[in-house]
A and B are shown apart, each in its own frame.
Chain A
Amino acid sequence: MTTVATRSTRPGEGRRRRATRRVAVTTGAAVLLVLVVLASLALGSKPLAPGQVWHALVAPDGGEASTIVRELRVPRTLLGLTVGPALALAGVLLQALTRNPLAEPRILGVSAGASLGVVVAIAVFGIGSLAGYVWFGVVGALLAGLLVFGIANRAREGASPVTLALVGVALDASLGAMVIALLTVDARTFEEYRFWVVGGLTGRDVGVTAQVAPFVLAGVLLAGFAARGLDALALGDDVARGLGHHVGLVRLAGGAAAVLLIGAAVAGAGPIAFIGLAVPHLARALVGTDHRWTLVLAALLGPALLLTADVVGRLVAPPGEVPAGIVTALLGAPLLVVLIRRARVVTA
């Protein structure tokens, strides 16, 4: 990464070189995502020939192959394409907002809020379908996010990275305790919860994706809006203000985006670990700290990693499956270790 100081005396030259590299990396990530999507449609515990898959997609005949592809593989691929970017973008946003390279959807308590929302849906309202969880997850995440932001804002220095993280961690603990309390009271809740809490793309129909997608879209737009402000915010609040940013507005937009993305992702696929932590690091290592690039790359790598995990989960233990949530943790942990060992973890 570190180029020799004497190599470039004209700043424009280095900038152009960097831009070329960024375009190349981003294009590569897009190609990778397309390949992973194809793999997700083509591979599974039931082997199907590419011709069968193609036929099932363009001209379904109601046979077994058609059912597998259209009822199982297409929905989970679509869900992965929705939830993957959400988790990765939320990670980028949270790491930038808290200026903490280890921040992830849990640190703001938003993930726990979404979980509590879902558990309340199961235990209090007796909702058993995943499509019904979505609203509760989003609302739970939203309330937790607002609560964290509200409490942190009352601190003397406002919602600074430190107060946000402290309040988030505290809230994560209390919300987690409430989830456990609800679960221990009600055995049936525990059964439903057990399926959801592992995290994965299985057993969710297209309706779940359709419910989650608008929230993700809103989050993506807000994240794009906040991108340049996040670049400035990384230099400190004062520098960001000096550069003409409304620091509170940038934080609010970024925070709202993170809340929407996490709420939607957690409700849709359960709390899936490591995408939100590992992908932002990977993205920064590849394209640097400019958030307009980091966000785009994370949005491509997030679903690529999540769908890879899902495909691997289908293949490792046929005829059974390992949920994507477990595979991401198994894949993500070594990835993070490699990133840290490779030299430097580039912070937001």
Chain B
Amino acid sequence: MLSTRDLSVGYDDRTVLDGLDLDLPADAFTVIVGPNACGKSTLLRTMARLLTPRRGTVLLDGTAIRDLPTRAVARRLGVLPQSPLVPEGVTVADLVGRGRQPYQRWWRQWSPSDEVAVAEAMELADVQELAERPVDTLSGGQRQRVWIAMTLAQDTEALLLDEPTTFLDLAHQVEVLDLLHRLRTERGRTVVAVLHDLNQAARYADHLVAMRAGAVVAAGPPRQILTVDLVREVFGLDCVVVPCPVTGAPLVVPTLRTSSVTKGSSCAAEFSPSSPSPPSVPA
């Protein structure tokens, strides 16, 4: 549903993305991964029309996004940027309610459908009990769920999230990712997220996009594309890839750096001499 054609984006004299062509599948959870400064956030922000490309187009269901009124886009595409600001004293219900702005006009203020959408978004993100709390008094994990609830209240087909798990502890990371997974499977939303953790990406993504230096190195289902070679090419990191004992998704385990000059692809034999081949884990 979201595609880019010959997309080039830059800041000042630095080009971040250069002629990028990409198609993101609808009704899938797409995760974009890559090393720092590879352009993954820039790509997400450009697709969300937060950045204007120098050249090329972002297509939303085949229409150039810059030709669509931004309010109309806001009814189809929800965006959660990396560091939204939390004004003091805004309550959770109030903040989630602001997600309804794309549907409101001066002559059409708060309506029953807004009420329904907000209630549903708060229930999905499990923040109903926090409704009257000021957002700035919440913990990081609660706060992130509130922001997601706000984008859910926008009631869009697609959600774009820029590193939604950064600054959260592991339990809250899983909580947020489970929520995104439910949105995809139970609500049929298209979810696109930039994530840092490769293993979480492999676990949750239907479609993985691996980027390096402003270009897409590989894109596809994690089980097909996430290999030792890809991790080395994208991150410059040696690793072994084993099936995750819980989900069977590829699990990336970096090898020890002390034996940095490793011959071949795997040094698993060096620290687990008893099993010369990568351990097989029952799926």
Q: Is A9 an interface residue (CB 8 A)?
A: yes
User: Which of B99-107, B193-201, B260-268 contacts the other chain?
Assistant: B99-107
Contact B79 A15 (CB under 8 A): no
**Of A236, A242, A288, the contact of B151 (CB 8 Å cutoff):** A242
Task: Name, among A12, A232, A246, the residue most crowded by chain B CB atoms within 10 Å (CB to CB).
Answer: A12
Contact yes or no, A236 B85, CB < 8 A: yes
Residues of A within 8 A of B94 (CB): 18, 288-290
Interface-lining segment among A113-121, A122-130, A194-202, A340-348: A340-348
Q: Is the CB of B131 within 8 A of A8?
A: yes
CB distance from A169 to the nearest CB of B (A): 21
Contact with B along A1-22 (1 / 0, CB 8 A): 1111111111110110010000
User: Could you tell me the distance between the alpha carbons of A240 and B11 in the complex, rounded to whole angstroms?
Assistant: 21
Interface residue count for B (Cβ, 8 Å)? Answer: 53
B78: nearest chain-A partner, CB-CB = A242
Contact B98 A347 (CB under 8 A): no
Q: Does A344 lie within 8 Å of B104, measured CB to CB?
A: no
Q: Is A234 an interface residue (CB 8 A)?
A: yes
Complex contacts, B101 vs chain A, CB 8 Å: 228, 231-232, 243-245
Chain A residues within 8 Å of B86, by CB: 235
A residues in contact with B74, CB < 8 Å? 242-244
B50 within 8 A of A: yes
Interface residues of A in 229-258 (CB under 8 A from B): 231-232, 234-236, 238-239, 241-246
Are A234 and B50 touching (Cβ within 8 A)? no
Q: Indicate if the CB atoms of B97 and A15 lie closer than 8 Å.
A: yes
Chain B residues whose CB sits within 8 angstroms of the CB of A347 once the complex forms: 87-89
Q: Is the CB of A244 within 8 A of B78?
A: no
Q: How far is the CA of A346 from the CA of B131 in the complex (A)?
A: 18
Interface of A (DSSP majority class)? loop
* Contact assessment for B137 and A2 in the assembled complex, using a CB-CB cutoff below 8 Å: yes
On whether the beta carbons of A344 and B88 are closer than 8 Å, the reply is yes
Q: Is A156 an interface residue (CB 8 A)?
A: yes
**Residues of chain A with a CB closer than 8 A to B88's CB:** 344-347
Contacts A99-B85, A244-B102 known; A239 to B131 CB distance under 8 Å? no
- Are B128 and A241 closer than 8 Å at their CB atoms? no
Contact A1 B84 (CB under 8 A): no
CB of B127 to closest CB in A, whole Å: 9
- Residues of chain A with a CB closer than 8 A to B45's CB: 238
Considering the chains assembled together, what is the distance between the CA atoms of A244 and B104 in angstroms? 11
Closest CB-CB distance, B151 to chain A, in whole Å? 7
> Does B122 count as interface, using CB distance less than 8 angstroms?
yes
* A289 touching B93, Cβ below 8 Å: no
Interface: A284 (CB within 8 A) = yes
Docked complex: B97-126 residues within 8 A CB-CB of A: 97-99, 101-102, 104, 110, 115, 118-119, 122
Q: Which residues of A contact B (CB under 8 A)?
A: 1-12, 14-15, 18, 99, 156, 228, 231-232, 234-236, 238-239, 241-246, 284, 288-290, 344-348
Give the top 10 A-B pairs by smallest Cβ distance, nearest first. Answer: A244-B74, A242-B79, A238-B81, A244-B71, A346-B89, A236-B85, A3-B132, A244-B102, A11-B93, A234-B87
